[in-house]
Amino acid sequence: LSVLVVTCPCALSLATPTAIVAATGALTRLGLLTTRGHALETLARTTHVIFDKTGTLTYGRPQVVAVEPTGEREARHCLALAAALERGSEHPVGRALAASADPSVPGAAGLRNTPGSGIEGWVEGRRYRVGRPEFAAGLSAAPMAERTDLDAGSTWVALGDESGLLAWFQLADSLRPGAAAAVAALRSRGLTVELLSGDRVEVVAHVAGQVAIVEAVGGMSPQDKLERLRELQGQGKVVAMVGDGVNDAPVLAAAQVSLAMGSGTQLAHATADMILLSERLEHLARGVDMARRTLAIMRENFAWAIGYNLIALPLAAGGWLTPWMSALGMSFSSLLVVVNALRLRQA
């Protein structure tokens, strides 16, 4: 009877769930919601962190600051056409275009979204595209004229039809406060940080310089991001992806652990393992710290539970422990595991 009581697996069964529950509660109070059980353990083993740009390192609320028609059409008309195509879009650039135009513009039909490039549709019987310049120019057989005068710190999208490009739209976004400090904190913890974005190369390089990210690539489609992610995973790296938009959903789903911004789309939230409700990037480093502490506490709990059984079992089998002593030892072992896990309640 002493052997049966002393070998009760209570401490072993409590070692992991108590630590995860305590850590999850602490992170939720901090503003980092854990939605899947494996997230903490995987985050503790992460070696690479990949950031998207729009809505992640930046606020993701760009504003239209300039409209440059390329022909005889008025700037207001070009903006109205772009807004008609982007009405109902969840992408930050699409929302900015839709919000900047007259709400009385005609609606668009036959809309077709190309993730990472733009959207195509029909307005008043004519087919248009709005999005990346090369995508918008794709309806026309004429080659797109290169522009070297674009502001590197702004996002530029274009409107085009079968005759060529009709207008350029300049949008400006602002960097989140604490973004540079968050990147520095992650790097100080031994993590490699990369920036992958579908925005123009010049814009991505500008943002990367502001936050001190060396590995930054612009002009990437969702498929390009996915291939880069799989390349790192093929090298044995554990990758955490931080994003917010519809275009990030495939990469968020493929990463070992994924984090979505609280202001991100519902699809990003459904795909992500953790959601940064606080919108404060500096909480990412604290999340990594908590995940590593959780893993350490779990190992301590397992070591104690196994060590207790290795010591108590021979004593019980040899008759040195009576049943009531075994019950006390088993209870004390379980209590110790729980108390050790409660150390994680402070984020």
Catalytically annotated residues: 52
What is the spatial distance between Cα 52 and Cα 250, in angstroms, rounded to a whole number?
A: 13
**Number of residues assigned to the chain:** 347
- Sole residue written with tokens 């896990």: 341
What is the spatial distance between Cα 129 and Cα 166, in angstroms, rounded to a whole number?
A: 10
Q: Shortest CA distance to 211 belongs to which of 53, 48, 15?
A: 53
What is the spatial distance between Cα 122 and Cα 147, in angstroms, rounded to a whole number?
A: 27
Buried b (16+ CB within 10 A) or exposed e, 117-139: bbbbbbbeeeebbbbbbebbbbb
Q: Shortest CA distance to 10 belongs to which of 315, 212, 312, 319?
A: 312
Residue 136 in contact with residue 160, Cβ under 8 Å?
A: yes
